[in-house]
Amino acid sequence: MEEIRGTETLEREILDDARKRADRILRKAEDDAKSLQTQAEQKLKEALDALAEEYRQKQKRAEQETLSRLPLEKMRLDIEYRDAHLREETQRAVAALSPEELGQWCAARLSRQAELIKDASVTVLVRGLGSESIKKIKMLFSKGSPSEVVEDSSMKARGLVVKPADDSYHISITETELIDWLLDVKRGELATALLGNSK
């Protein structure tokens, strides 16, 4: 009987010991799981913080690049505006020239090419020029071969076009050339006169 009781006691002790070991294993497993969860949450938080910081840095760089370009963009837009305004005002001023004023300029420009035109037989097409300037233009050809000055309303701009009989050259002196010449050669003076001081 005592042996049976001793066996039961031994079994109970073994079972108690097994329960205690199982409890320790379960507690350790729970602790390990909590530790892993904490580590995973920490890593996730660090990854999210790193992404947020990277985004902030990119945003900051983009803002700095945008701000650094603004003065250049402003300057470019200002130059574009001034150039367009200068061209518009120059076109308006040239369009306001009287036929005689434009004709005098055309005759003066043509006289600079006297060597080219003096012996040529040409047709000079004119549009919108004054009668006195047309006389000056005719005089440039009076010593050369037969030439004629013809009013041509189909020309796109006021001025003159010289067409030699042999097609050896072509001279065009019109409002368009005057505008281009003014903007090329006299831009600074025009800008000051039409737009004021640019500072």
**Which band of pLDDT confidence, cut at 50, 70 and 90, is reported for residue 175?**
very high
Angle at alpha carbon of residue 80, lines to 75 and 82, rounded to 5° = 95
Amino acid 65 reads: E
pLDDT at 142 over 60: yes
* Number of CB atoms found within 10 A of residue 144's CB: 14
Using DSSP, state whether 61 is helix, strand or coil.
helix
pLDDT at 1 over 60: no
State both tokens at 177: 């050339």
Confidence class for position 174, pLDDT limits 50, 70, 90:
very high
Q: E strand or H helix at 23, and its extent?
A: helix 2-95
Model confidence over 28-58: pLDDT tens digits? Answer: 888 888 888 888 888 888 888 888 888 888 8
Dihedral sign, CA of 165, 167, 173, 175?
Answer: positive
The band of 83, judged by pLDDT with boundaries at 50, 70 and 90, is confident
Q: What is the pLDDT of residues 96-139, one digit of tens each?
A: 999 999 999 999 998 888 777 766 678 889 999 999 988 888 88
Residue 82 pLDDT class (50, 70, 90 cuts): confident
pLDDT tens-place string over residues 13-30: 887 787 888 788 888 888
pLDDT recorded at residue 104 = 93
